[in-house]
Each structure stands twice: as C-alpha cells, then as structure tokens.
Structure 1
Amino acid sequence: MGVKEGRVDLVVEPMEHPVRLDVYVAGHTDLISRSTLSETETVIQLNGKASKKSKLVREGDHITVLYSENFFAGIEGEAIPLTILYEDEDLLVINKEQGMVVHPANGNTEHTLVNALVHRYGERFCEELMDETEVEEEADLSSPAVRPGIVHRLDKDTSGVLVVARNRISHRQLSAQFKNHTTKKVYIALARGTFKTKQGTIEKHLKRDPKDRKKFTTCDDTEGRYAKTEYQVLRQYSGFALLRIVLHTGRTHQIRVHLSKAGHPIIGDPIYGKEDGQTLMLHAFLLELDSPSTGTRIRFRAKMPERFRSYLRSTRLPANSGVRSLSSPAATGHD
C-alpha cells in the first residue's frame, strides 16, 4: 500500500451568494473525494491561510487543498466466492453477501470484493482503470486506481445488488449515472416500531456527527448534503415492519440515519439503533440503470435474504404474507 499526494488549486467563480468552502470544492473538482477532504491530515487554505471547511467563500477567493490518499497498489487476488446475477464485457453484477467489505482500507487489505475481482479478472483489471478519474460523487470514492471498478458501494453488513465496472468507458458512464441520480435503487429493511402511515418521504440533510466521525446525523438545510429517502410499509408486524425503500440520493448511512431519526431504527443496527443480538436487516433489493454499451435500461434484483426469512419465522408470523413479489423466483436476477 502506498500514498498518493495531491494538490487542488481553485479560484472561486461568480456566485449568487456565498457558500461553504467544502461545498464549493466538492462541486468544482473531481480530484478529491469528500472523505479525503474530511481527513484531519488534509490542509485547506483560503487566500493563503489555513481555514475551516465551514468558512464561506466569495467570488475571487483562492482555495488550495493539500491532501494524501492511500493507494492500494499490488492488491492480491483471493478466490472468494461471488453470487453473480449478471456479467458481460462492460459490467459485473453481484448479490453482495452480508459481511463482505467492498474495498480495502487501512488495517483491512484482505478478503474484500476488490481482492475477489483481482482474482477473477487478473492484475490487469486494476491497471486498465488506473488513469480514470471520474467517480460517483455521492459514494465518496476516489479514483479507480484506489477503488478499481467500484462505482458505488454497500456497507459491510448491507447485502444485495452491487454493480462493478469492467473497463474505463463503463466506469465513466456508470459513475455518471450514479452521480446524476439516473439509476433506481430500491432496498428492503426490517425497522422497529409501528408506522402511523403506509408510506412517507424523509428529506433531511446529512453531515458527519461532530461527536463521532464514524457516524452521520441529520442537520439544518444550511449544512451537510441533501438526502431523500422514500419508504412504503409492505407489512406491519407487532413492533416492527417490512419496508420497501427507494433511495433518491446515496449518502453514506442515509437509510439508517433517516429511519433512526424518524424513530424507526433498522433491526440489528448497532450504530443508529440498539444492540439487539440481530444482524443488520438492510438489503439492496433492486438496481436499475442504463447499459454502458447499448443504452438499454436494465434491471437487477436480489431476492430477500435468508436472515430476513429467519427473523420473520422467529416471530411465528408468515414470512411471505404480503411480500410475495419480493420473494418469488421471478423477482431475482437480470430482467
């Protein structure tokens, strides 16, 4: 593992009103990810002086960002089994197992999806994407040299549909779709409590929790990043519900934070809920996007996982009641 050092220089263009320094940088360069911008080692200067990210910038201001990113060169391939939903020359779509980490990180350079991809496609898989720089903004990913093939991600304990780009052109096109919110992302979850309405929409800005940098929290519209989550109650059980969730934006921990703040934490969420002896009940059920080569709209589904069924059986209530469309064989794979 190596370190990539970089520098970004910007001159603030004409604006209708002042904006936060970090918001301006994120919106005017693809060279640095939001996660890197938030690192304590990253130096941000405004007009030659060290500045806070929350500082408002105005037309003509000079911004300099000095940063470093971990560079996972020489990743070793591992024969990790993958549940493949679809594969062609442009992309690979898998049903990610719960517990699998998507990409390497400090202290965790083995047993990740990237290790499995290197084993499947060879070391050239990383090399062929080295020069690409366009990525999914909302996933806080850096260049494919650091995250080869990854255009979006799922948390370690979230299972379900995940797409991987297999070449530069595919990476560029898929990344643009996620960045422009033209994909459709549908999740299912088991959430605590009794819902007063059958459906609803949560629109709350998100930011890192100032008390715990590993967590996120809701905030005023003047801070953080806009996030929109739409949910539908498929079945209300005693003390919890099965939800269908449409993710209109893709902020880190978005569904988990939104539902928790609404008083309905996801079952098994140790960060935004309570330790309950369960594993996280969140699953990426459906992903819809345009084929990078043909432009045809394609849809992928991953059926309800066994941990959901097991939990529903443990309640002594019928697991399939009202949710047959989610669990039937016809609802899996590639449409």
Structure 2
Amino acid sequence: MNIIKVPENIKNERIDSVISLSVEGLSRNSLKNRIDVLTVNGKPAKISKKVSNGDVIMYSLDRLPEMTIEAENIPLDIVYEDSNVFVINKPAGMVVHPAAGNYSGTMAQGIMYRLLDTDSGFSEDDSRPGIVHRLDKDTSGIIIAAKNTETLEFLSEQFRSRTSSKTYIAVINGRLPAKKGTIESRIGRDRRNRKKMTWQTERGKSAVTEYRVLKEWATKSLVALSPKTGRTHQLRVHMLMMKTPITGDPVYARKTEGYSLMLHAYKLRIQIPGADGIIEFRAPVPERFKTAILNLSDRG
C-alpha cells in the first residue's frame, strides 16, 4: 500500500492528479486503469474525488506486465561504430525505446537486433538495452548506445557526472534578449497537464541551459543550446520560459505553422572505451533545417 500526505500547496485537486504528480512516469490515464484499492483519510474514495493539504491518500496499483524488447531489423543511420559503441543519427519521429503506444520500430529494438548472437550481456528482458541517454520522439540527432554492459556503465557514468556534453541547434520563435547567455530554473511536471513540464514549480529539479544565437530573422532565430543538466523537455521548456518557444513544438508552441519540431541534437562530446580523451561526434544538419533556413533567409 502506498501513502501520500497531500502537501500544503495543493487545494481542491483531484486524487488522480495528486498521485500522478507524486509518481514519476505514471499518467492519470494509466492510474485509472491500474488503481486497485483507494482510500482518503481511511474511507473508500473514487479517483475523481478532490483533496486538499493534510488529507492522507492510501492506494495500491495492479502490477504492469514486464516490458520486453523484441529485436527488429530496423534501418539505423550509424555514423560511428566500433566493438563497444554505436553512434546513431536518430531521425525525427523515431522513438528511442518501447513505451505505451510505441511498441515497435524503436531504436532500442534495432540495436537489440544488431546485438543478437553477441556477448553483450543484454537480453530481451532488458527494457533499454544499451541505451545511455534518450531524445524525444520528435527530436532528431546524435545518440550513443553501448554494445555491452561494461560500456553502458562507462558511458552512463559520464552522463551522471556531467563530463560529457551535448549541443543542439534549434529554430525558435522570436529573439532572445542577448547573443549568448545562461538560463536557470527548476523544472517539474505540470500539475494540470501530465504531458508537459514547467518551470513554474517549487518541486522541480534544478535545470541549466547555455545558449548562443547563430542567426536572426524578422520573426525567428537559429540558436545553439547546450544543456548542463538533463531534465525532461529541458530545452523546450527553457525556450518557452524565455518567450521564444521552439518552432513547430506541438506541446509548447501555440501554433506549429506547418513546421515539425525544429530541434536537432547536433554534437556529442564523450569518451569511449579504448580512446584517448574526449571524442566529438556530429549528426548532419537535417533537410528540414536547411529548408527552413533557406526560406527564412529569402524573407529577410
């Protein structure tokens, strides 16, 4: 049985909203399907009941079936490969690993296929074989994956200690206040929309992004973004915070204007096993960026 004491800053909020805020990765819809026992202050309650600070919620959930990875022969744009790593240029629209609504055609399944009959140490019982970090479905660009468990730990430690670094390029709506700068905030789950993250929270985690303006047009800018932390939707939220949402963002921009998400992981600097020092990997600028830049330049 799980217990939540409703915090002071919550008043007249639905139970499913309170629980989903407290449990990372648990959506209100998933909660609705999995709730087993639910009480508020010792009395049975419906998930739609509203609670306030001081109320005590007790609940239990049905267990999810174990997620397994089915290897699939999926084309991957591999920009570098050796005995320990894949470095992949992920296209926009590809999901990194299976999750609700995306059980096939993921990058992880393509990696698993390439690791069949090897001594990787991974199996189909691993939910994210070789996956060190991830990119959102609509974000394209560079991503590194491990071919064995030893390399997975070696790479993961660099992300944990922040000795690796990533640089993205993005087209944004409007202009930033300076040619370069640093954005700092807390980022946490949006209480009203679980699909969104927000900087307007006291419960979020510290997030830091450095930016540099590369080109400006009348209504848009091309920028380089370097996240110093790895929060969900960090770059997208920080650009919204600056009132310059990423062009084509289906979640945070009011209008997509016919664009897809204009965010691309352009560069990754990291050490790999057997190499001396840091290596820099790059993913080519995608056609959607070239087309957008050409069109914006023609308009002036």
TM-score, structure 1 length as denominator?
A: 0.69
Aligned to 2:103: 109
Aligned to 1:119: 113
Q: How does 1:283-302 map to 2 (within 5 A)?
A: 283-294=264-275, 296-302=277-283
Matched, 1:185 2:166: yes
Q: How does 1:171-182 map to 2 (within 5 A)?
A: 171-182=152-163
Aligned to 1:314: 295
Q: After TM superposition, give the deviation of residue 107 of structure 1 in Å.
A: 2.8
Matched, 1:158 2:153: no
Contact 2:27 2:194 in 1 (8 A): no
CA distance, structure 1, for counterparts of residue 239 and residue 27 of structure 2:
27
CA distance, structure 2, for counterparts of residue 241 and residue 179 of structure 1:
31
In structure 1, the gaps of 5 or more residues are 1-6, 9-32, 44-48, 56-64, 132-143, 320-335
Q: After TM superposition, give the deviation of residue 261 of structure 1 in Å.
A: 1.4
CA distance, structure 2, for counterparts of residue 36 and residue 169 of structure 1:
30
- Seen in structure 2, the aligned counterparts of structure 1 residues 42 and 95 have a Cα distance that, compared at 3 Å, is farther
TM-score, structure 2 length as denominator?
A: 0.76
In structure 2, the gaps of 5 or more residues are 3-22, 37-41, 43-50, 55-59
- Seen in structure 2, the aligned counterparts of structure 1 residues 212 and 123 have a Cα distance that, compared at 3 Å, is farther
Q: How does 1:39-50 map to 2 (within 5 A)?
A: 40=31
Q: After TM superposition, give the deviation of residue 98 of structure 1 in Å.
A: 0.8
Aligned to 2:11: none
Listed one character per residue, the Cα deviations across residues 286-321 of structure 1 (whole Å, up to 9, x for unaligned) are: 0011113446311101121110011122224399xx
Calculate percent identity across the aligned residue pairs. Answer: 40
Contact 2:217 2:297 in 1 (8 A): no
Secondary structure of 1:283's counterpart equals strand
Q: After TM superposition, give the deviation of residue 36 of structure 1 in Å.
A: 6.2
Pick aligned residue for 2:187 from 202, 206, 225? 206
- Seen in structure 2, the aligned counterparts of structure 1 residues 119 and 91 have a Cα distance that, compared at 3 Å, is same
Aligned to 1:167: 148
Aligned to 1:134: none
Pick aligned residue for 2:80 from 76, 86, 95? 86
Secondary structure of 1:119's counterpart equals helix
Matched, 1:35 2:16: no
Contact 1:102 1:156 in 2 (8 A): yes
Secondary structure of 1:114's counterpart equals helix
- Seen in structure 2, the aligned counterparts of structure 1 residues 166 and 195 have a Cα distance that, compared at 3 Å, is same
- Seen in structure 2, the aligned counterparts of structure 1 residues 246 and 42 have a Cα distance that, compared at 3 Å, is farther
Secondary structure of 1:35's counterpart equals coil
Contact 2:122 2:148 in 1 (8 A): yes
